[in-house]
Amino acid sequence: MYKRILLKLSGESLAGSKGQGIDEQRLAEYAMQIRELVEDMGVEVSVVIGGGNFFRGLSGAGKGFDRVRGDQMGMLATAMNSLALCSALENIGAKAKALTAVRMEPIGEFYNKWRAIELMRRQYVVVLACGTGNPFFTTDSGAALRGVELEADAMLKGTRVDGIYTADPEKDPTAVRFDRISFDELYRRGLKVMDLTAVTLCRENNLPVQVFRMDEPGNLRRLIEGQPIGTLVSNS
Protein backbone atom coordinates (compact mmCIF):
# COMPACT_ATOMS: atom_id res chain seq x y z
CA MET A 1 0.00 0.00 0.00
CA TYR A 2 1.28 3.48 -0.84
CA LYS A 3 2.06 5.58 2.24
CA ARG A 4 2.57 8.93 0.50
CA ILE A 5 1.06 9.90 -2.84
CA LEU A 6 0.86 12.77 -5.27
CA LEU A 7 -2.65 12.83 -6.75
CA LYS A 8 -2.92 14.59 -10.12
CA LEU A 9 -6.40 15.70 -11.17
CA SER A 10 -7.42 17.45 -14.36
CA GLY A 11 -9.26 20.73 -14.20
CA GLU A 12 -11.70 19.47 -16.81
CA SER A 13 -12.75 16.65 -14.50
CA LEU A 14 -13.85 19.20 -11.90
CA ALA A 15 -16.22 20.71 -14.45
CA GLY A 16 -18.23 17.47 -14.50
CA SER A 17 -21.40 17.67 -16.57
CA LYS A 18 -21.17 21.48 -16.70
CA GLY A 19 -18.30 21.38 -19.17
CA GLN A 20 -16.57 24.38 -17.58
CA GLY A 21 -16.12 25.92 -14.17
CA ILE A 22 -16.66 23.71 -11.13
CA ASP A 23 -19.32 21.05 -10.63
CA GLU A 24 -20.00 21.18 -6.90
CA GLN A 25 -21.14 17.55 -6.74
CA ARG A 26 -18.00 16.29 -8.50
CA LEU A 27 -15.86 18.41 -6.19
CA ALA A 28 -17.59 17.01 -3.11
CA GLU A 29 -17.12 13.43 -4.37
CA TYR A 30 -13.40 14.01 -4.85
CA ALA A 31 -13.09 15.54 -1.39
CA MET A 32 -14.80 12.54 0.23
CA GLN A 33 -12.49 10.08 -1.53
CA ILE A 34 -9.38 12.03 -0.54
CA ARG A 35 -10.46 12.43 3.10
CA GLU A 36 -11.00 8.68 3.31
CA LEU A 37 -7.36 8.03 2.38
CA VAL A 38 -6.01 10.38 5.03
CA GLU A 39 -8.35 9.69 7.94
CA ASP A 40 -9.18 6.00 7.44
CA MET A 41 -5.99 4.69 5.85
CA GLY A 42 -3.28 7.02 7.14
CA VAL A 43 -2.00 7.95 3.67
CA GLU A 44 -0.10 11.22 3.27
CA VAL A 45 -1.67 13.07 0.34
CA SER A 46 -0.64 15.97 -1.85
CA VAL A 47 -2.76 17.06 -4.81
CA VAL A 48 -2.09 18.93 -8.04
CA ILE A 49 -5.07 20.10 -10.10
CA GLY A 50 -4.94 21.46 -13.62
CA GLY A 51 -6.78 24.61 -14.63
CA GLY A 52 -8.32 23.62 -17.97
CA ASN A 53 -11.88 24.07 -16.69
CA PHE A 54 -11.13 27.82 -16.55
CA PHE A 55 -8.20 28.56 -18.83
CA ARG A 56 -5.42 26.64 -20.56
CA GLY A 57 -2.29 28.63 -21.36
CA LEU A 58 -1.31 26.68 -24.48
CA SER A 59 -4.73 27.06 -26.09
CA GLY A 60 -4.70 30.75 -25.17
CA ALA A 61 -1.42 31.16 -27.01
CA GLY A 62 -3.11 29.76 -30.11
CA LYS A 63 -5.70 32.53 -29.86
CA GLY A 64 -3.24 35.40 -29.74
CA PHE A 65 -2.30 35.52 -26.06
CA ASP A 66 1.36 35.95 -25.20
CA ARG A 67 2.45 32.45 -24.12
CA VAL A 68 4.02 33.58 -20.86
CA ARG A 69 0.98 35.58 -19.83
CA GLY A 70 -1.29 32.77 -20.98
CA ASP A 71 0.55 30.28 -18.78
CA GLN A 72 0.39 32.72 -15.87
CA MET A 73 -3.38 32.91 -16.36
CA GLY A 74 -3.43 29.11 -16.29
CA MET A 75 -1.55 29.19 -12.98
CA LEU A 76 -4.26 31.41 -11.53
CA ALA A 77 -6.86 28.91 -12.76
CA THR A 78 -5.08 26.14 -10.85
CA ALA A 79 -5.12 28.35 -7.76
CA MET A 80 -8.90 28.73 -8.01
CA ASN A 81 -9.35 24.97 -8.28
CA SER A 82 -6.98 24.40 -5.37
CA LEU A 83 -8.91 26.79 -3.13
CA ALA A 84 -12.16 25.09 -4.12
CA LEU A 85 -10.78 21.66 -3.17
CA CYS A 86 -9.45 22.99 0.15
CA SER A 87 -12.88 24.42 0.94
CA ALA A 88 -14.64 21.18 0.00
CA LEU A 89 -12.27 19.20 2.24
CA GLU A 90 -12.71 21.56 5.16
CA ASN A 91 -16.49 21.42 4.76
CA ILE A 92 -16.40 17.69 5.55
CA GLY A 93 -14.03 18.03 8.48
CA ALA A 94 -10.69 17.33 6.78
CA LYS A 95 -7.61 19.52 7.16
CA ALA A 96 -6.28 21.10 3.98
CA LYS A 97 -3.71 23.70 3.03
CA ALA A 98 -3.00 25.35 -0.32
CA LEU A 99 0.66 25.94 -1.13
CA THR A 100 1.44 28.03 -4.20
CA ALA A 101 4.50 27.96 -6.47
CA VAL A 102 4.35 31.75 -6.83
CA ARG A 103 3.87 34.15 -3.94
CA MET A 104 0.23 35.12 -3.46
CA GLU A 105 -0.28 35.32 0.29
CA PRO A 106 -2.86 35.28 1.82
CA ILE A 107 -4.46 33.19 -0.95
CA GLY A 108 -1.97 30.42 -0.30
CA GLU A 109 1.24 29.75 1.55
CA PHE A 110 4.43 29.87 -0.53
CA TYR A 111 5.55 26.31 -1.32
CA ASN A 112 8.58 24.60 0.08
CA LYS A 113 9.27 20.88 0.38
CA TRP A 114 9.79 20.73 4.12
CA ARG A 115 6.61 22.64 4.93
CA ALA A 116 4.60 20.37 2.63
CA ILE A 117 5.98 17.21 4.25
CA GLU A 118 5.38 18.60 7.74
CA LEU A 119 1.74 19.29 6.88
CA MET A 120 1.20 15.84 5.35
CA ARG A 121 2.62 14.21 8.47
CA ARG A 122 0.04 16.20 10.46
CA GLN A 123 -2.76 14.71 8.30
CA TYR A 124 -3.28 17.78 6.14
CA VAL A 125 -4.15 17.34 2.49
CA VAL A 126 -1.59 19.56 0.78
CA VAL A 127 -2.98 21.12 -2.41
CA LEU A 128 -0.20 22.40 -4.66
CA ALA A 129 -1.20 25.29 -6.92
CA CYS A 130 0.40 27.16 -9.84
CA GLY A 131 2.34 24.24 -11.30
CA THR A 132 6.09 24.85 -11.17
CA GLY A 133 5.58 28.62 -11.08
CA ASN A 134 7.16 28.89 -14.53
CA PRO A 135 5.68 29.23 -18.02
CA PHE A 136 6.11 26.49 -20.64
CA PHE A 137 5.58 23.71 -18.07
CA THR A 138 2.33 21.76 -17.83
CA THR A 139 0.65 20.80 -14.58
CA ASP A 140 1.62 17.19 -15.38
CA SER A 141 5.25 18.31 -15.28
CA GLY A 142 4.54 20.22 -12.09
CA ALA A 143 2.95 17.13 -10.55
CA ALA A 144 5.90 14.94 -11.56
CA LEU A 145 8.36 17.46 -10.11
CA ARG A 146 6.46 17.71 -6.81
CA GLY A 147 6.01 13.95 -6.62
CA VAL A 148 9.76 13.44 -6.92
CA GLU A 149 10.57 16.34 -4.61
CA LEU A 150 8.15 15.21 -1.88
CA GLU A 151 9.43 11.62 -2.08
CA ALA A 152 6.01 10.22 -2.95
CA ASP A 153 5.66 6.47 -3.40
CA ALA A 154 3.67 7.07 -6.60
CA MET A 155 1.91 9.66 -8.69
CA LEU A 156 -1.74 8.76 -9.15
CA LYS A 157 -3.18 10.37 -12.27
CA GLY A 158 -6.96 10.51 -12.17
CA THR A 159 -8.54 10.71 -15.62
CA ARG A 160 -11.86 10.18 -17.39
CA VAL A 161 -10.80 6.73 -18.64
CA ASP A 162 -9.82 3.62 -16.72
CA GLY A 163 -6.17 3.46 -17.75
CA ILE A 164 -3.84 3.67 -20.72
CA TYR A 165 -4.92 2.19 -24.06
CA THR A 166 -3.21 1.42 -27.34
CA ALA A 167 -5.29 4.28 -28.79
CA ASP A 168 -7.85 6.79 -27.54
CA PRO A 169 -10.73 4.55 -26.34
CA GLU A 170 -13.19 7.42 -26.77
CA LYS A 171 -12.40 7.44 -30.50
CA ASP A 172 -11.25 3.88 -31.26
CA PRO A 173 -13.50 1.05 -29.99
CA THR A 174 -10.78 -1.52 -30.76
CA ALA A 175 -8.29 0.08 -28.35
CA VAL A 176 -6.86 -2.32 -25.75
CA ARG A 177 -6.00 -1.33 -22.19
CA PHE A 178 -2.61 -2.00 -20.62
CA ASP A 179 -2.43 -3.32 -17.08
CA ARG A 180 1.25 -2.33 -16.93
CA ILE A 181 3.57 -0.48 -19.27
CA SER A 182 7.12 0.84 -18.97
CA PHE A 183 8.07 4.48 -19.44
CA ASP A 184 10.23 3.44 -22.39
CA GLU A 185 7.36 1.67 -24.14
CA LEU A 186 5.06 4.61 -23.40
CA TYR A 187 7.55 6.80 -25.24
CA ARG A 188 8.09 4.36 -28.13
CA ARG A 189 4.38 4.03 -28.76
CA GLY A 190 3.86 7.80 -28.59
CA LEU A 191 1.05 7.46 -26.07
CA LYS A 192 0.19 10.96 -24.88
CA VAL A 193 -0.66 10.22 -21.27
CA MET A 194 1.63 12.98 -20.02
CA ASP A 195 4.02 15.38 -21.72
CA LEU A 196 7.59 14.17 -22.26
CA THR A 197 9.00 16.37 -19.51
CA ALA A 198 6.75 14.68 -16.96
CA VAL A 199 7.52 11.22 -18.33
CA THR A 200 11.27 11.88 -18.18
CA LEU A 201 11.12 13.22 -14.61
CA CYS A 202 9.22 10.14 -13.44
CA ARG A 203 11.43 7.72 -15.39
CA GLU A 204 14.75 9.16 -14.26
CA ASN A 205 13.66 9.38 -10.63
CA ASN A 206 11.88 6.02 -10.57
CA LEU A 207 8.49 7.50 -9.64
CA PRO A 208 5.74 5.07 -10.74
CA VAL A 209 2.56 6.53 -12.21
CA GLN A 210 -0.84 4.92 -11.81
CA VAL A 211 -3.43 6.07 -14.36
CA PHE A 212 -7.02 5.38 -13.32
CA ARG A 213 -10.59 6.61 -13.54
CA MET A 214 -11.12 9.06 -10.69
CA ASP A 215 -14.79 9.64 -11.48
CA GLU A 216 -15.81 6.17 -10.29
CA PRO A 217 -16.44 6.41 -6.52
CA GLY A 218 -14.24 4.09 -4.49
CA ASN A 219 -11.56 3.70 -7.15
CA LEU A 220 -9.03 5.77 -5.26
CA ARG A 221 -9.34 3.65 -2.14
CA ARG A 222 -9.29 0.41 -4.11
CA LEU A 223 -6.10 1.51 -5.85
CA ILE A 224 -4.40 2.30 -2.53
CA GLU A 225 -5.48 -1.10 -1.19
CA GLY A 226 -3.62 -2.75 -4.06
CA GLN A 227 -6.52 -3.79 -6.24
CA PRO A 228 -5.80 -3.92 -10.01
CA ILE A 229 -7.19 -0.51 -10.95
CA GLY A 230 -6.08 1.30 -14.10
CA THR A 231 -2.60 1.10 -15.60
CA LEU A 232 0.74 1.15 -13.80
CA VAL A 233 3.62 2.93 -15.56
CA SER A 234 7.06 2.14 -14.17
CA ASN A 235 10.66 1.36 -15.12
CA SER A 236 10.20 -2.39 -14.71
Q: pTM for the full model?
A: 0.94
Average model confidence (pLDDT) across the chain: 94
Identify each DSSP E strand in 101-183 by its residue range. Answer: 109-110, 124-129, 154-159, 180-182
- pLDDT, mean of residues 110-133: 98
Indicate left, alpha or beta for 172 from its phi (over 0: left) and psi (-120 to 50: alpha).
beta
How do residues 201-232 score in pLDDT, each as one tens digit? 999 999 999 999 999 999 999 999 999 999 99
Residue 123 CA to residue 35 CA, distance in Å, equals 10
Fill in the amino acid letter for 77. Answer: A
- pLDDT recorded at residue 204: 97
How do residues 58-80 score in pLDDT, each as one tens digit? 665 666 778 899 899 999 999 99
How do residues 163-187 score in pLDDT, each as one tens digit? 999 998 888 989 999 999 999 999 9
Strands 109-110 and 154-159: unpaired
**Separation of CA 175 from chain center:** 24
Q: CATH class for domain 4-234?
A: alpha beta
- pLDDT recorded at residue 169: 86
- pLDDT, mean of residues 104-130: 97
